C-alpha cells in the first residue's frame, strides 16, 4: 500500500468515502459523532490528501495573476523577474493552474490601477505583486482582502501589511555591506564618492536606502575620511565625466554607485583609474563588461529571476501543494566580482 487515502480512512472508520470527503471539506450533512470518528481515524492513519489526485479531480483551475512593471529597451530590469515567473508557470502545467501576467507602466500610477482592476476581474486565488506605488498598492490590497485573494510581494514590501510571502532584498543592508567591502581597500584618510542616478524613478526608495546603509556602516565603524556625494541625471553622460574629474582626487579610494555602475565606469575609463575600488549594482551585460575589464570591482546583486520564480512557487506551494510557505524570503546580497560572475548568469 503506497499511500493511505480516503478509502483506507473510510474502511477503518466504517463509513463510505463520500462521508470522509464531506468531513474533510466541511461540507455538512455529517453527524457530529461520525465526524469526530473520521477525524480521529485521519489522525491515527496520518492521512494526507494526495495532491496529484486532488488536482486531477478538480474541476476549476487555480488562478494566479502577476502584476509587475513592464519593460522596454531602455529599462530591461523587469524582464528578468518575468523570466523566473514564466519558468515557474511552465512547471505548473498539468496541475490545472492558470497564470495571467499583467503589466503596468513605472511612470504612471494610473496604469497600475488599471492592471489591478483587470486582476480582480480574473477572480484569482493568488496574486504576485510588485507594490511599487505604495498608495495604489494599499488600495488594491484592501480589495484583495475583501475578496479573500492572497498576495505575494515581489521586489519591495509595504509596511504593516502581511502578505502570504515576500521576496525582496533589503537595500539598506546592501549599502551597509558595500561599506564593508570598500573598507577592505581604504586607508586612514581615504575618501569615498557616492554616485546616485537620481532620475531612476523605479528605484528611488531603493537608492536612498542603499546610500543610507553605506553611511551607517562608516558611522558605525568610525571612519575618519570624507564621503563625497554626486547626484546626477544618467542621461548627462558628458556632465558625468566632467563632474567625476572635478570631484576625484588622490585621496579617493572608493566609488559607490547606488545603481548600475557602467556609466561611471565608462567615464572612469576615459579619465584613467588607479587604486580606485568601484562598487555598483546588478548583473547586466553593460556592468559585466566593465567588471571583466577591471574598471568595476564589485557588483551587488539580488537574483531577480529567482525572486520571480520564488514568488510564483510560494503561491503554488500554498494553493496547490498545500505546504507551509515562508512569510519572508529576503534575498541574499550576492557579491559578484570578475572571478565568479559566470556562476550567477543563470539566476
What is the binding site for DNA (CB under 7 A)? 1-3, 5-7, 14-19, 21-22, 24-25, 28-35, 47-50, 53-54, 56-60
Among positions 72, 76, 233, 340, the unique one binding a second copy when judged by CB under 8 A: 340
Helix pair 79-90, 304-319: axis angle to 10 deg? 40
Q: How far is the CB of 170 from a second copy (least distance, A)?
A: 8
Handedness of CA 309, 310, 313, 319 (dihedral sign): negative
**Residue 231, C-alpha cell as written in the block:** 547626484
Residue number, 56 or 199, with CB nearest to DNA: 56
Among positions 35, 55, 113, 134, the unique one binding a second copy when judged by CB under 8 A: 55
Stretch that binds a second copy, among 17-25, 50-58, 110-118, 137-145 (CB under 8 A): 50-58
Task: Report the SS3 class of residue 316.
Answer: helix
Among positions 7, 14, 145, 180, the unique one binding a second copy when judged by CB under 8 A: 180
Give me the DSSP letters along 203-216: THHHHHHHHHHHHH
Helix ranges restricted to H, 25-133: 32-45, 51-57, 79-90, 109-121
Question: Does residue 159 interact with a second copy by CB under 8 A?
Answer: no
Residue number, 18 or 332, with CB nearest to a second copy: 332
Contact set for a second copy, span 275-294 (CB under 8 A): 277
Residue 17 interacts with which of DNA, a second copy, none, CB < 5 to 8 Å by class: DNA
- Binding residues for a second copy, rule CB under 8 A, total 40
Beta strand 191-197 pairing with 226-232: parallel
Among positions 78, 176, 316, 319, the unique one binding a second copy when judged by CB under 8 A: 176
Question: Does residue 313 interact with a second copy by CB under 8 A?
Answer: no
Q: Are 307 and 331 in contact (CB under 8 A)?
A: yes
Q: Are 35 and 15 in contact (CB under 8 A)?
A: no
CA–CA gap between residue 298 and residue 287 (Å, rounded):
10
Q: What is the dihedral of CA 41, 43, 45, 51, to 10 degrees?
A: 110
Query: For binding to a second copy (CB under 8 A), which residues are involved?
Result: 2-3, 48, 50-53, 55-56, 61, 91, 93-96, 173, 176-177, 180-181, 184-185, 217, 277, 297, 321, 323, 330-335, 337-340, 343-344, 347
Amino acid at each position: 500500500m503506497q499511500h493511505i487515502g480516503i478509502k483506507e480512512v473510510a474502511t477503518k472508520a466504517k463509513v463510505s468515502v463520500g462521508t470522509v470527503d464531506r468531513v474533510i471539506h466541511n461540507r455538512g450533512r455529517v453527524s457530529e459523532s461520525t465526524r469526530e470518528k473520521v477525524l480521529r481515524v485521519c489522525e491515527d492513519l496520518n492521512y494526507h490528501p494526495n495532491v496529484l489526485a486532488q488536482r486531477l479531480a478538480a474541476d476549476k483551475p487555480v488562478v494566479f495573476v502577476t502584476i509587475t512593471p513592464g519593460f522596454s529597451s531602455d529599462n530591461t530590469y523587469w524582464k528578468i523577474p518575468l523570466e523566473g515567473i514564466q519558468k515557474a508557470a511552465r512547471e505548473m502545467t498539468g496541475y490545472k493552474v492558470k497564470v495571467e501576467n499583467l503589466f503596468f507602466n513605472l511612470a504612471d500610477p494610473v496604469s497600475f490601477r488599471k492592471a489591478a482592476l483587470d486582476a480582480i476581474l480574473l477572480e484569482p486565488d493568488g496574486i504576485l505583486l510588485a507594490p511599487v506605488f505604495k498608495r495604489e498598492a494599499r488600495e488594491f490590497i484592501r480589495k484583495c482582502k475583501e475578496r479573500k485573494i492572497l498576495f505575494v510581494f515581489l521586489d519591495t514590501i509595504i509596511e504593516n501589511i502581511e502578505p502570504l510571502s515576500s521576496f525582496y532584498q533589503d537595500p539598506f543592508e546592501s549599502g551597509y555591506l558595500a561599506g564593508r567591502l570598500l573598507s577592505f581597500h581604504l586607508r586612514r584618510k581615504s575618501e569615498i564618492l557616492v554616485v546616485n542616478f537620481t532620475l531612476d524613478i523605479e528605484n528611488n526608495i531603493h537608492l536612498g536606502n542603499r546610500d543610507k546603509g553605506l553611511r551607517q556602516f562608516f558611522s558605525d565603524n568610525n571612519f575618519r575620511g570624507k564621503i563625497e556625494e554626486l547626484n546626477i541625471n544618467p542621461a548627462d553622460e558628458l556632465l558625468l565625466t566632467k563632474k567625476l574629474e572635478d570631484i576625484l582626487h588622490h585621496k579617493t579610494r572608493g566609488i559607490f554607485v547606488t545603481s548600475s555602475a557602467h556609466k561611471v565606469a565608462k567615464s572612469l575609463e576615459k579619465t584613467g583609474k588607479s587604486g580606485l575600488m568601484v562598487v555598483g549594482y546588478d548583473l547586466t551585460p553593460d556592468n559585466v563588461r566593465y567588471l571583466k575589464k577591471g574598471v568595476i570591482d564589485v557588483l551587488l546583486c539580488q537574483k531577480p529571476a529567482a525572486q520571480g520564480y520564488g514568488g510564483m512557487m510560494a503561491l503554488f506551494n500554498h494553493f496547490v501543494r498545500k505546504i507551509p510557505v515562508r512569510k519572508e524570503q529576503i534575498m541574499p546580497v550576492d557579491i559578484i566580482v570578475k572571478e565568479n560572475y559566470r556562476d550567477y548568469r543563470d539566476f
